[in-house]
Structure 1
């Protein structure tokens, strides 16, 4: 998702459908953030790390000022072991886990909205990963055939495949890791560029980082594990005060294949325009319209 009018942080990689209002691109939790959660609080939370059912789901301390919900929300993220989807913790479990980790300065009344925000961001991150997997799970050649038409063309190709009934082997999440204190190489580079060229690059480091290990389903029933890195950025708030978040999701460069995938996807728009693809497509569209 690209947003040319907002450049405080790198936008997410997954494009919107054609003609979609780009101002809606950043992940905006809206009412879920009404409790006053801020990135500084949210960076303490990685619900994926707090999912085990062993976390207590009852009030553990008298200092907890409000009653927190006990219900757990099911995610849409398939588990790598094939036992359904990952389940998010309840606000009560989240609060108990935060206390155990020493985060005693978080007001209990903020936790419910914080859980909603982070669950929302994790769902967005998974959709970004699915976009990468739709392009490259069938191999680099098939990935290039999709990417060479640019982001909009890739999205249209995905729609056409779905209409033809072509099956997409869904990936699954094997394990995960929150690494907020270990900036990715890309985040470090952007920080350096902000220091070197402050007028061109904003000094807005990510407030969180996750590494997700995904099982990629390949043709022939084979699978392999792919590591994705996710940088979480906060953007300028909406005029209504709602916070705005950006996700930068991409395969970790753990080998030449992942490097090729990055180059193919991020260079797809450039290739499509440089090769005259956008002009040819427009001419074909005009001929089709004139023939009606």
Structure 2
């Protein structure tokens, strides 16, 4: 899911209802203590499901319930929120987070065991990524876990700022992200957890012909030295594979074998 880097031809996500701007609800909230009046009479459905394994406990982070989302919207000042729409808003919120986590796991499967194995996984392009990941068995030894997260909707990432600069030339093609999250993930390195930060920009796209809104996720490691190397390896490997006709070369070589 999502547009997380220029090298990945993944489809955008369509949903029936856009999320509340700024993602006001903590994903891990277990209670909804709020200074504003809340609705507790069954008008909002109960919580549904969990997401993302925690790094500090043998359990998962919990999704917000519609009740928690509604209370958070009240705290944010959205007093005219239609309570009947809250469940769909939560569904979109959770759907986008599931997609973001899937992209994080994809990065971890490629690079959790170093840049060399990351290159081995990426060298045949995105189209062969799952096959290459399956060849590196260590990718499945330990799953990444989510340490913590941070919503930073008012702080634009350098990449998003760059696209906004280009927007002065092509303004219709460079809408700013409507939200930003930083997710901190525990990566197992030689038996020891290492904290890795991922940056997620949330964009809206042109609606579907049916009127459903479309969202794009740009998920990538933060621009640390290691994160920059991972991004460069994944992007350049896919560009080289496609530009040099890697699939054709392989097919030709197999035909001669």
Please report the TM-score for the alignment, with normalisation by the length of structure 1: 0.78
- Specify the SS of the correspondent of 1:195: coil
> 1:207-222 maps to which residues of 2 (within 5 A)?
207-218=178-189, 220-222=190-192
Match 1:67 to one of 39, 43, 57: 43
- Structure 1 pair 154–50 and aligned structure 2 pair: CA distance change class (3 A): closer
> 1:217-228 maps to which residues of 2 (within 5 A)?
217-218=188-189, 220-228=190-198
Cross-structure match for 1:43? 21
* Alignment deviations for residues 75-102 of structure 1 (CA, whole Å, 9 cap, x no partner): 3310111321111111011111221232
Matches of 1:187 and 1:123 in 2, distance apart?
22
Q: Are positions 1:156 and 2:131 aligned together?
A: yes
- Structure 1 pair 273–67 and aligned structure 2 pair: CA distance change class (3 A): closer
Q: Are positions 1:27 and 2:27 aligned together?
A: no
Cross-structure match for 2:165? 192
- Structure 1 pair 196–227 and aligned structure 2 pair: CA distance change class (3 A): same
Matches of 1:250 and 1:125 in 2, distance apart?
10
Residue ranges of structure 1 left out of the alignment (5+ in a row):
3-10, 17-21
Q: Is the 8 A contact 2:110 2:139 kept in 1?
A: no
* Alignment deviations for residues 187-235 of structure 1 (CA, whole Å, 9 cap, x no partner): 111011011344xx713111111110111112x3122001101011111
- Structure 1 pair 68–274 and aligned structure 2 pair: CA distance change class (3 A): closer
Q: Are positions 1:262 and 2:228 aligned together?
A: no
Residue ranges of structure 2 left out of the alignment (5+ in a row):
none
- Specify the SS of the correspondent of 1:95: helix
The structure 1 segments of at least 4 consecutive aligned residues displaced by more than 6 Å after TM superposition are none
Q: Are positions 1:282 and 2:251 aligned together?
A: yes
Q: Are positions 1:12 and 2:4 aligned together?
A: yes
Match 2:145 to one of 168, 172, 177: 172
> 1:116-127 maps to which residues of 2 (within 5 A)?
116-127=91-102
* Alignment deviations for residues 232-274 of structure 1 (CA, whole Å, 9 cap, x no partner): 1111111111111110000011x21111001001111122245
Q: C-alpha root-mean-square deviation of aligned residues, in Å?
A: 2.7
Q: Is the 8 A contact 1:74 1:88 kept in 2?
A: yes
Cross-structure match for 1:91? 66
Matches of 2:57 and 2:27 in 1, distance apart?
19
- Structure 1 pair 245–166 and aligned structure 2 pair: CA distance change class (3 A): closer
Matches of 1:259 and 1:123 in 2, distance apart?
24
- Structure 1 pair 142–279 and aligned structure 2 pair: CA distance change class (3 A): same
The CA deviation at 1:106 is 2.1
Q: Is the 8 A contact 1:50 1:97 kept in 2?
A: no
